[in-house]
Amino acid sequence: MKKIKLALIGAGYIAHYHARGLMTMPEIEILAVVSRHMEKAEKFAYTYQIKYVYTSIAPIMRNPDIDAVIISTPNSFHSPYAIEFLKNGKDVFLEKPMAINTREGESIATTARKTGQLVMVGHMWRFDTEAKFIKESINTGKLGRVFKTKGYGIHENWGPSGWFTKKKLAGGGALADMGIHAIDTIRYLLGDPNPLQVYARIATNFGDYDVDDTGIILISWDNGTESIIESGWWHPHRDGPEASSSIFGTEGYASLFPTYLKLKKGESSEEIIPEFPKRDEHCSQIIYTHQMQSFVNCIQTRKQPVPGLTEGLVVLRIMDAAYESSQKRKVINL
């Protein structure tokens, strides 16, 4: 079988996770890597035995042998790069967020539909074993009707630097960086409902930058569930690690990270703590490997990826609504 040839656009921290995942698949060849910094790209290429190194995306667009690209650049490049690659016959994997705003995300979607190329968005918690367990518990009705959730995307006593803290490059701060993990995770657990209303209070409390590091978002879904999402950098405390979620149902409660169920049993409750493989780190490599395997499978079968255009756009609409709500101090209807 002919190997699928890919190029990695960006050689930063997250690109290593993607590369390690792709290296587990014999049907894949990473043909090229692109970085604005040649030395960084060359070091990355040496680590993963990648043949071509570039500082521009132009050679990738012109190369008919490259089937798909993995884009792990600052957020502001997601839309322009994705659109150019789609127009040149490449399938695209985009790190989250899909774009810096809904308008740019919709431009990607329009181009993908016109060209027939595939787009996957890197909401990787959908590939986590513990998240799948909680989703199945909800699906089978163990919790009854879910009426409330809480989700967290917070860095405790730490925050990123560089392009993450520049609105022009990132589009937003902690909400765009961490909050969207919590938003997409809870949406996945709930069966991907659509948002009806968003109310948010967003602020900058810890740094001298033009993006947010604190956020509280309330989302009303069309299935009747209300979700509280907290985002942040540099906070002195967090109630749970990235994508940690609490799900409240009429018949029980579920926690993701730490992962367990607490089900009603008369006037008391029964706690169920399942066993899972040991995690070497919270955002473990296996999640990214499963994500890359899914993307490659979609390339082979020409099946629309999930999470893809729809999932990426819903999160962007919620993010945009949250910023608008905080600025106008009112509920935004979607």
Residue by residue, pLDDT tens for the chain (334 residues) are 789 999 999 999 999 999 999 999 999 999 999 999 999 999 999 999 999 999 999 999 999 999 999 999 999 999 999 999 999 999 999 999 999 999 999 999 999 999 999 999 999 999 999 999 999 999 999 999 999 999 999 999 999 999 999 999 999 999 999 999 999 999 999 999 999 999 999 999 999 999 999 999 999 999 999 999 999 999 999 999 999 999 999 999 999 999 999 999 988 999 999 999 999 899 999 999 999 999 999 999 999 999 999 999 999 999 999 999 999 999 999 9
Domains and CATH numbers, the chain: 4-123+285-306 (3.40.50.720), 126-282+316-333 (3.30.360.10)
CB-CB contact of 234 with 213 (8 Å): yes
- CA-nearest of 208, 149, 202, 148 to 177 is 202
CA neighbor of 22 nearest in space, from 54, 87, 67: 67
What is the number of other CB atoms lying within 10 angstroms of the CB of residue 268?
6
In the block, tokens 């029964």 appear at 270
pTM of the model: 0.97
Count Cβ atoms within 10 A of the Cβ of residue 136 and give its class: 0-12 exposed, 13-18 middle, 19 or more buried: exposed
Per-residue confidence (pLDDT) for residue 28, from 0 to 100: 97
Amino acid 266: pLDDT: 87
- For residue 49, the number of C-alpha atoms closer than 13 Å in the C-beta half-sphere is 5
Q: Which three-class secondary structure string do you get for the chain?
A: CCCEEEEEECCCHHHHHHHHHHCCCCCEEEEEEECCCHHHHHHHHHHHCCCEEECCCHHHHHCCCCCEEEECCCHHHHHHHHHHHHHCCCEEEEECCCCCCHHHHHHHHHHHHHHCCCEEEECHHHHCHHHHHHHHHHHCCCCCCEEEEEEEEEEECCCCCHHHHCHHHHCCCHHHHHHHHHHHHHHHHCCCCCEEEEEEEEECCCCCCCCCCEEEEEEEECCCCEEEEEEEEEECCCCCCCCCEEEEECCEEEEECCCEEEEEECCEEEEECCCCCCCCCCCCHHHHHHHHHHHHHHHHHCCCCCCCHHHHHHHHHHHHHHHHHHHHCCCEEC
Are the C-beta atoms of 282 and 293 separated by less than 8 Å? no
| Both structure tokens of 72 | 């792990």
